[in-house]
Structure formats: C-alpha cells, structure tokens
Amino acid sequence: MTKTIAALAFILSLSFISTPATYAADGEARSKIAWPKPTRSVKPNEKVCRHKFSNGERTVWICEKAQPCCEWEQLNYYVKCGSTVTGCL
C-alpha cells in the first residue's frame, strides 16, 4: 500500500514538471479563434485529433489510428496519444 501511494505521488509530481509547452503532442497546434491545422502533415495510418477546451481553446494533434486521443483539462490543458493497451492512462 505504501509503495502504491509513493508511486502515485511520484507520477503526479511528474505531471507538474512536464508541461504541454515542453512536451507538445506530435503536430500539436492551438488557437482560440478557429480550428488550427496540425504543425505537420498527416501520414498514412495516422489521424488528426481535435478537442475544444472549456476556455475556448481549440487544439489539434496527430496520433496513430489505433491510439486514442487523450486530453486533460485539469493538467494545464494537456493532450497526447494514448496507448492501445491502457487507453488514456
């Protein structure tokens, strides 16, 4: 139980260190005016993920087709590609 709590605390502490500005999702672009285009072109077997946050910011990023598109408003509007095994964890 103690190891689980320590591991969870460590993972949560990393979420504050790695901000979206430092570790942007592949092809990520943001805008509050309109849907932006990704910063790179989509390759075969990829998809464009889109999400509009509650502050009006529209975000797009690129993931593999099999990966889920993941976003967390609570983690400073963080977006990423999930895992086919664990989803957005």
- Distance from C-alpha of 70 to C-alpha of 78, rounded to nearest angstrom: 8
Give me the phi and psi of 5, to 5 degrees please: -65, -40
Residues 52-69 have pLDDT tens digits of 999 999 999 999 999 999
More confident residue, 82 or 16: 82
The answer to whether the beta carbons of residues 57 and 32 sit under 8 Å apart is: yes
Give me the phi and psi of 17, to 5 degrees please: -80, -45
Residues 14-45 have pLDDT tens digits of 544 444 445 689 999 999 999 999 999 999 99
Q: List the chain domain ranges.
A: 2-81
